[in-house]
Structure 1
């Protein structure tokens, strides 16, 4: 029996064909949709990337334009005020119509081909009275995308002399009991036998020492207490550039100007005072209690910061000194104290000797002791130099930059015979013509000629040889403070005392994008 083959009906074959076509169509539609989605996403991504790229390019260009403003302003400072005297710089800021201070200063910037690229706008905050710190804000944008702006703010300042923990103008010797934190520089040679935690530099390549125990030629910086690696923990360097002390007179003159009434400072310059005295006086055969007045010469002023508990931290007690020990620097007689407010601009100018002690709280101050009485051919006549004397602690309440004190003496900054056994001086001290230190005292005052520890938290600037301790020819300690700790106050880098001497070139010490 033959088998039969059944063929599908024509309609069935046709339906299957249509179904296959429908499936292909659906597949094509799906693939097309997916492709379109991918393509749309790709186009969107590319467009977004292009937009972001153009925006980033605009941001970078705006940043470059803002930078151009900062660099131009640095050039402007160099040409307008670098190398000028303190008085000339002050006149520039107060009456020289400096750019960018009263109204923003806008400048168009061009691309390398000469086309207009955009603009920068400079807004300048001038230095406060007695300071060199300038704040410059530069905003940059391009013409293509003016809404895309970049803002740079920088701080310009002149390096202050108090950026060294010790800055000297002659040969300096640091004994074995001295530990110093901060940079040291001298225009003379440096013998360092203690421990220096930071760089020690000197002007000369070599120098002649007249000290009997080490007399002879030595390197600009050296030690008589080897090994060097234990003395100079951050190294030594010589020869280096000189720091001129001659420019300080300009700061003294400017300081005197700003201490006058109406300028926000305090000027103390009275040279005579009526002092009342009472005593038993013999009249005939009897004694009579008698009072009289004498017109006494004022030998100086005694300033005590924050003298009375509860009066607040913005006052000081000031009395006139009419008699003091010429060798001990102890006040023997003074007028009753008068309470003063701390001056608004932080400047106290005393045209006489000055005794300073006490504690400050949230204050930036400078005390100047100088006699600038004019004499023919001599702006500072010999014999008119004035000193600052320290016998008791001078303290900061806060050592985080809120308290800054400068003590600027025309001649010496001297620690007296009857100084505290453990003395702390929180200040940047400067002796323009003389030295910072303590005189030699022998055992005629057995309880005082030798002292325990002195700590300086701040900086020392001294024209003559600094020193708070004395040794004999054999190297034995014979007078002064046995232990000397000198610690640099890092806040002086950014907040030097008002009217403290600075260098003549501006540098950028802070750069940030706002």
Structure 2
């Protein structure tokens, strides 16, 4: 017989246990939901917070970049139209913003409300460098700890940043087979290029008329006579760095003002020499000095010195300075640890002097320690008796003339000088190799070799034009540069 009361107790206990189990399940589920909900809320909150953080960081970056563009605007207004000396004075004595201490400016939104600041710190250019390094730190008032720092390098363009730069506007320039160029090449006129170019060749004209006897036709601004633009003699494509035309022209007319500054610098350092006699012979020396002597006479055809006046004198090469001769210069020698610009120009009024080169002009160091600028108001002429293997280290500028070598296949007749007869090779002029390590800027048509219909050739069979990358950032002292700073490198720190 079943105990009825006991049965009732068992049923009650079972119901209680079921209720307790259900409650446990509910609590577990609620706990899980709570954990998930709290985690979700925390995640959403963190994402919102991160979103604000990123928004503030992006705003800080924009403020930092605004500081960079402010400084570029500031430089344009302070430097535009000034000479090399005036720009140098600005950096040394003009108290430029951000050099001695950071320069801060409040950044405002379009409604004029301040939302943050940028702080600018500037590393000024080294002596006669074109590089300015600017660091701009930006932050917002809402989150001042979220700073962004941008570092940029500004650079002024220089005449020395081309392997070859030619004016020849309305005309053209020609580079023959055997010419190899390492570095950019630009001409304001047309370019006939039959060598090998390892960098971009650009012209300021879209088409031009090539009047050379073996062409006599309209051509593109940059072109080659090689079929398929492949030089079979040099086993290479002609335009390895590509072509670009038309592009804006380069102005050769602004150089005269820079020459006046160079002359005054030479006067101040006792390295100015007047226009007495026919010019000066200058020999650069590795002991930090140069020898100089007056030239009484020279051969007007072959350009070699025939007679001196006076004795040799010796002067120290000025550091980051100028040697200025108001007449012709015969230049040779080697420097060691010197940066110097050598100028032949007549600013008094009377002639346009030349610079004549017979022997090597060399650096001892090729890491930017040695830099030579060679500027002639007229021509930079490689004379007839030049070395068979000639090397010229430096940045060459012929303001109103050309960098090159004359047609020296000449013979003296009873009535004077004339070209060698066709087929007579005894008086033809041949040289092996010329190497220019640096840059060439020439107003008129360049050329170290010639040929004609005879056929009769003269000059250097191999022409190596090697660009010195150090000139991009460290042009020779007082060398002509642009006054507008361009952005050369950008990075976030």
Normalising by structure 1, we get a TM-score of 0.77
State whether structure 2 residue 448 is matched by structure 1 residue 457.
Answer: no
Partner Cα separation in structure 1 for residue 59 and residue 471 of structure 2: 37
Assess if the C-alpha contact under 8 Å between 1:369 and 1:386 holds in 2: no
**2:74 corresponds to which of 73, 76, 101:** 76
Q: CA deviation at 1:244?
A: 1.8
Deviations 1:324-354 (A, max 9, x none): 85435469769567584x644x223232525
**2:474 corresponds to which of 479, 484, 495:** 495
Greater alpha carbon shift after TM alignment, 55-64 vs 75-84: 75-84
Partner Cα separation in structure 1 for residue 356 and residue 14 of structure 2: 114
Partner Cα separation in structure 1 for residue 271 and residue 17 of structure 2: 111
1:187 aligns to what?
A: 188
Q: CA deviation at 1:5?
A: 6.0
State whether structure 2 residue 293 is matched by structure 1 residue 321.
Answer: yes
State whether structure 2 residue 203 is matched by structure 1 residue 202.
Answer: yes
Partner Cα separation in structure 1 for residue 204 and residue 341 of structure 2: 29
Assess if the C-alpha contact under 8 Å between 2:341 and 2:478 holds in 1: no
Q: CA deviation at 1:110?
A: 1.8
Q: CA deviation at 1:196?
A: 3.2
**2:271 corresponds to which of 268, 273, 280:** 268
Greater alpha carbon shift after TM alignment, 496-505 vs 449-458: 496-505
Q: How does 1:10-25 map to 2 (within 5 A)?
A: 10-25=8-23
1:498 aligned counterpart, secondary structure: coil
Q: CA deviation at 1:168?
A: 1.2
**2:263 corresponds to which of 247, 256, 259:** 256
Structure 1 gap segments, 5+ residues each: 273-295, 307-314, 373-378
Q: CA deviation at 1:498?
A: 3.0
Deviations 1:106-136 (A, max 9, x none): 2222223443211112233343443433322
1:50 aligns to what?
A: 48
Q: How does 1:407-426 map to 2 (within 5 A)?
A: 407-426=374-393
Assess if the C-alpha contact under 8 Å between 1:168 and 1:462 holds in 2: yes
Q: How does 1:35-46 map to 2 (within 5 A)?
A: 35-46=33-44
CA separation of 1:64 and 1:164: change in aligned 2, threshold 3 A: same
1:439 aligns to what?
A: 406
2:360 aligned counterpart, secondary structure: coil
Q: CA deviation at 1:17?
A: 4.2
1:483 aligns to what?
A: 462
Deviations 1:406-439 (A, max 9, x none): 3223333233344332223332211122221223
Assess if the C-alpha contact under 8 Å between 1:66 and 1:139 holds in 2: yes
1:507 aligns to what?
A: 486
Q: CA deviation at 1:62?
A: 0.7
CA separation of 1:260 and 1:462: change in aligned 2, threshold 3 A: same
Q: How does 1:80-479 map to 2 (within 5 A)?
A: 80-86=78-84, 88-90=86-88, 92-94=90-92, 96-170=94-168, 171-207=172-208, 209=210, 211-215=212-216, 218-228=219-229, 230-259=237-266, 267-270=270-273, 299-306=279-286, 315-323=287-295, 326=299, 327-329=302-304, 338=314, 340=316, 343-344=318-319, 346-351=320-325, 353-358=329-334, 360=336, 365-371=339-345, 379-383=347-351, 385-387=353-355, 389-395=357-363, 397-398=365-366, 403-442=370-409, 449-476=429-456, 478-479=457-458
2:421 aligns to what?
A: none
1:391 aligned counterpart, secondary structure: strand
Q: CA deviation at 1:9?
A: 4.5
Q: CA deviation at 1:452?
A: 0.9
* Alignment length (residue pairs): 464
Partner Cα separation in structure 2 for residue 316 and residue 440 of structure 1: 36
Assess if the C-alpha contact under 8 Å between 1:393 and 1:420 holds in 2: no
Q: CA deviation at 1:474?
A: 4.0
Assess if the C-alpha contact under 8 Å between 1:418 and 1:448 holds in 2: no
Partner Cα separation in structure 1 for residue 348 and residue 174 of structure 2: 29
Partner Cα separation in structure 2 for residue 127 and residue 69 of structure 1: 19
1:511 aligned counterpart, secondary structure: strand
Provide the alpha-carbon RMSD of the alignment.
3.6
Normalising by structure 2, we get a TM-score of 0.80
Assess if the C-alpha contact under 8 Å between 1:404 and 1:427 holds in 2: yes
CA separation of 1:26 and 1:96: change in aligned 2, threshold 3 A: same
1:281 aligns to what?
A: none
